[in-house]
Amino acid sequence: MARKRNRSQIQNQIAVEEPIQFSIYVICCPVSGNPVYVGQTSNFEQRKRSHLRIKKRPNIGTENIKTWIWDQISIGMQPSILILESELSEFKSLERETYWIIEYSKKGFPLLNRWKEHRKIIKSYKRMNGLY
């Protein structure tokens, strides 16, 4: 039979456990160095590998990060994937991801992020920059 733990034992365990830390990263064009995608993850190395491990061209539209990466790799180019910020809570990382999307969109970079909220931000700045 499992031993019942009291409240202080549970609180001590919670205090010792470290919260999951998140990072914000950017994928950049290997030719221009311009940002094309901003993301957040709790495991940067694993996420980086998953972005670069595309075995065949995705059967989706051209304005998609997977298709863009495939197109770069298929011509022998390697996109750079860099950490912008790290050691963030999940909530803070979502906030900062949106911040970076706004900053890059203001500067006219046509990001390929797909979240509905992020697409709205990107689209509005494209209009303001005369790119849409």
Distance CA 127, CA 132 (A): 5
Reduce the DSSP state of residue 121 to 3 states and report it.
helix
Tokens 């963030």 found at? 88
Hey, what CATH topology would domain 20-128 get? GIY-YIG endonuclease (3.40.1440)
Question: CA angle 109-92-128, nearest 5°?
Answer: 25
Domain boundaries of the chain, sorted by first residue: 20-128
Q: Which residue has the higher pLDDT, 54 or 96?
A: 96
* 34 C-beta neighbours (distance < 10 Å), count: 14
In this structure, which long-range contacts are made by residues 70-79, counting pairs with CB atoms below 8 Å and at least 24 apart in sequence? 72/29, 72/30, 77/30, 77/31, 78/30, 78/52, 79/27, 79/28, 79/29, 79/30, 79/36, 79/51, 79/52
The predicted-structure confidence for 82-106, as pLDDT tens digits, reads as follows 999 999 999 999 999 999 999 999 9
Confidence of residue 125 (pLDDT cuts 50, 70, 90): confident
| pLDDT score at 1 | 47
Confidence of residue 9 (pLDDT cuts 50, 70, 90): low
The predicted-structure confidence for 59-88, as pLDDT tens digits, reads as follows 766 678 988 999 999 999 999 999 999 999
